[in-house]
Amino acid sequence: MLDDMKRKAAWAALEFIPRHTVVGVGTGSTVNHFIDALATIKHEIKGAVSSSEQSTAKLKDLGIPVLDLNSIDRFSVYVDGADEINPDKHMIKGGGAALTREKIVAAVAETFICIVDESKQVPVLGRFPLPVEVIPMASSYVARELNKIGGRAVLRAGVTTDNGNVILDVHDLEIRHPIQLEAQINNIVGVVTNGIFAIRAADKVLVGTPAGTTILK
């Protein structure tokens, strides 16, 4: 059921992909459906910029050229999932440990289209533990600093990011001021980035439901 809602949201995104341009591609199970959809118009796009090794592998398997982000000044649309999204289109991301590259690729896009199933919609962010990517030698220090701001940081066992770093998942946060908290956590020395996407929120949200897809602009 959830997977069906993810698929609906992902395929609905095709309508918003301008032809003959580069497409930004996120990471995760919802995005995997989007990549399947994108493959059906692969001859009508210039290629993709990818936010993870996982998405890169799937894009290439389906014959979609993957371009180096450094070779592109700007592109129009980035499509990605989320672990949680609030009514202001602020998100928590990074459940799949891809948050840093996702934030980088999103920064270069003109428009961020978020594709989610309806279970991801929340009034206040924080029920999903907040992922924070950290330089390995700083993980204990950063965990202590995160605990000071009211969270409970837990090292994600056995996970190394595509950038060679570790993930701390911060439990028990009630994120009432996402923009401020995103900046505050990014200021802790040793943090590469955190999974709050609020300074740069989504522009459009496609929500898969049992009845179809709802568009939030």
Ligand X SMILES: O=C[C@H](O)[C@H](O)[C@H](O)COP(=O)(O)O
Single residue of 49, 98, 168, 185 touching ligand X by CB under 6 A: 98
Ranges assigned E (strand) in the chain: 22-25, 47-50, 75-80, 84-85, 91-92, 109-117, 130-134, 152-155, 166-171, 191-194, 196-197, 204-209, 212-216
Which one of 7, 8, 89, 93 is in contact with ligand X (CB under 6 A)? 93
Query: Using the rule CB under 6 A, is 96 a contact of ligand X?
Result: yes
Contacts with ligand X by CB under 6 A: the residue count is 17
Amino acid at 190: G
Give yes or no for a contact between 166 and 193, defined as CB atoms under 8 angstroms apart. no
Choose the stretch contacting ligand X; rule: CB under 6 A; options: 27-35, 68-76, 149-157, 163-171. 27-35
Applying CB under 6 A, does 84 fall inside the site for ligand X?
A: no
- d(CA 124, CA 184) in angstroms, rounded, equals 18
Span near ligand X by CB under 6 A; candidates 77-85, 139-147, 175-183, 199-207: 77-85
Contact status: 133 vs ligand X (CB under 6 A): no
What is the binding site for ligand X (CB under 6 A)? 26-30, 80-83, 93-99, 102
Residues with catalytic roles: 102
